[in-house]
Amino acid sequence: MSSARYRWLAGALLSLTGAGCATQPAPAPAFVDWSTLADGCRSHGLSEVMLFPDELGMELHPTDIRIGRLPDTGNGPGLLVHFRQGRNGIFAQATEPPRIFIAVGDWSRSCSIQIDHEACPSAAAVYEDLAARSIPIGHAFDDPIGITVMHGTRYFLSTRDGHDNQANWSYVGISHPLQAALDAALADLAECSAPAVHAYDEKYTMHGHGQSSIQQRSER
């Protein structure tokens, strides 16, 4: 399938996913290059980069880690954190200092910030913990029951290892070991995420004045 056709189909799927029971299909959105984003708000949801991490998401460089949590439509905004390690050289050498891109948003809009890695006190410990994690391939193999939830919070993790291989993981369900790990990581980054949360609340919700609208943990 051609790239242009794939983008059209992906846009249509995103529109239908976020539209619910709309009687008329919404036009496919113009996708944004998330790799170029830093501070600001936009009419593009976190679903773009989370659901299509290879075709439509932000570029990952070696040793980058991107995590996210996105509630179902109507259940508040989600949170995305991308540890940009700055290893953009042809042999994975560092060409810029490590930074953290943080975005708060739902399925159709978002606000983001970019900060230096050292400006976030919890960043180093969170990054090291995530880098040491493994994805349990055989989760629930001993007791398969099929679909556990129809509408739930989605979890996402993408990374590119030191040999330039990208891995993408997503999950919606119950009792996965990585759910707790990602919940803990995002909670530890709450202080660093606060400016993005505030920007989203001020622009899109009635929860301004410093009150976070972020779901801290999924209900499992």
What is the number of H-type helices and E-type strands within the chain?
5, 7
Architecture category of domain 31-135+151-204 in CATH: 2-Layer Sandwich (3.30)
- Tell me the torsion sign for CA atoms 210, 119, 89, 158: negative
Question: How confident is residue 180, by pLDDT bands cut at 50, 70 and 90?
Answer: very high
**pLDDT tens readout for residues 99-150:** 999 999 999 999 999 999 999 999 999 999 999 999 999 988 888 877 766 6
Percentage of the chain modeled with pLDDT above 90: 53
| DSSP string covering 87-140 | --STTS---S--EEEEEEE-SS-EEEEEEEGGGSTTHHHHHHHHHT----TTTT
Residue 69: closest CA among 52, 53, 48, 46: 46
User: Phi first, then psi: what are they for 212, rounded to 5°?
Assistant: -75, 135
**Per-residue pLDDT averaged across 154-166, rounded?**
93
Q: What is the pLDDT of residue 29?
A: 53
pLDDT over threshold 70, residue 23: no
User: Strand order of the sheet with strand 40-42?
Assistant: 40-42, 110-116, 99-105, 78-84, 65-70, 154-160, 166-171
Q: What is the pLDDT of residue 28?
A: 44
Residue, of 40 and 35, whose pLDDT is higher: 40
Q: What is the pLDDT of residue 140?
A: 82
Distance CA 167, CA 53 (A): 10
Q: What is the pLDDT of residue 195?
A: 97
Residue type, 40: G
> Quick one: tokens of 88?
């953009």
Residue 171: closest CA among 158, 184, 160: 158
**Farthest CA pair distance, the chain:** 51
List the chain domain ranges.
Answer: 31-135+151-204
